[in-house]
Structure 1
C-alpha cells in the first residue's frame, strides 16, 4: 500500500506544484485575472496563494507533514472555487459551463485532499515512504 500512496501523492501534488510555479512567476498576469473576478488585493493574494500551493504541494509530495499539506491545499481550493469560478454569476452559457467545470474540479480536488488528510492522519507512521509522520492524529 505504501508505494500506491506514494504514487498517488506524486500524481496529486504535480498539479499544485505546476500551478504554484505559475502563481509565483506570472504573478502580475494572474493577479489581473483574479482582479477581474473581484478578488481583493489580487497581487498579494496571487503571490500568497502561490506560496500556499508550493508549501502544500511539496509537503504532500515529500511526505513532510503531508496531512498538513493536504489541509493547506483545501484552504486554497475551496475559496478559489467560490471566488474564481462563480458559475452562478455568468450569463453566457459557454462561460457558465466552463466555470462550472472548474468549480467542480476544485471542489473534487478539495474532497480528495480531505480524504488524503484523513488517511495520513489516521494511518500515522504506519503509512511509510514519508519523511515525517503526520502532524495530526485522527483515531
Structure 2
C-alpha cells in the first residue's frame, strides 16, 4: 500500500467515524433534521426501520463500521461505496442551503453542502481505486490478449513444421520400399 493511501484513507474516514458516533449516540438530536429525507426514502424502501431515530442510528452505525474499515484498509472500495450511500441523504437533509433566508446561514450551509460533495468525490475516487493492482477487467483483457498471441505462435510453429514434414513424406512416398 502506498504512503498516500495509508495516510489518505484514515483522513477521509475520520469525519464519518466521528459523525457516525454522534448519530449512534444522539439520534434524537438529528431526527428532526433528517425527517424530510428519511420519510420519502422509508416509504419506498421497505427494509428501513419505521422511526426516523432508528434510521439515523442505522446510518451512523454504517458510517462508523465503513469508516473504520476504510481507515484500516479493509475492503476499502466497498466501504467507500457504503459511506457514499450514507453521505447523499445526510447532505440532502442536513445542508439545505436553498431553504435558508439568512444570507450568512445560507453561505454557511452552502459551504457544508459543497464540503460534503467534495467528500463524496473523494469516496467515489476511493471506490474506483484498485490499490495499484490491476482490475478484473484489465486482467481479463490482458489474459485474452496473451491467449491470442500464444495461439498465433502455435499456429506459426505448426505451419513451419508441417511444410518440411510434408516434403519428407512426399519423398518417402516416392522411394521404393
Q: Give yes or no for TM over 0.5.
A: yes
| Matching of residue 104 in structure 1 with residue 114 in structure 2 | yes
Deviations 1:29-87 (A, max 9, x none): 2224434x564342122101101201220120121111000001110112222222121
User: For the aligned residues, what is the CA RMSD?
Assistant: 2.2
The answer to whether the 8 Å contact 1:60/1:66 transfers is: yes
Q: Shift in Å at residue 27 of structure 1? A: 1.6
The answer to whether the 8 Å contact 1:118/1:138 transfers is: no
Return the alpha-carbon distance in structure 2 between the equivalents of residues 137 and 63 of structure 1: 19
For the residue of structure 2 that corresponds to 1:64, the secondary structure is coil
Q: Shift in Å at residue 88 of structure 1? A: 1.1
Q: Shift in Å at residue 18 of structure 1? A: 1.0
Q: TM-score, normalised by structure 2?
A: 0.64
Return the alpha-carbon distance in structure 2 between the equivalents of residues 68 and 42 of structure 1: 25
The answer to whether the 8 Å contact 2:33/2:93 transfers is: no
Give the gaps of 5 or more residues in structure 1: 127-135
Which of 1 and 2 has higher RCO (CA within 8 Å, sep 6+)?
A: 1
Give the gaps of 5 or more residues in structure 2: 40-50, 139-177
- Number of matched pairs: 127
Q: TM-score, normalised by structure 1?
A: 0.79
Return the alpha-carbon distance in structure 2 between the equivalents of residues 74 and 7 of structure 1: 19
Return the alpha-carbon distance in structure 1 between the equivalents of residues 70 and 137 of structure 2: 18
For the residue of structure 2 that corresponds to 1:123, the secondary structure is coil
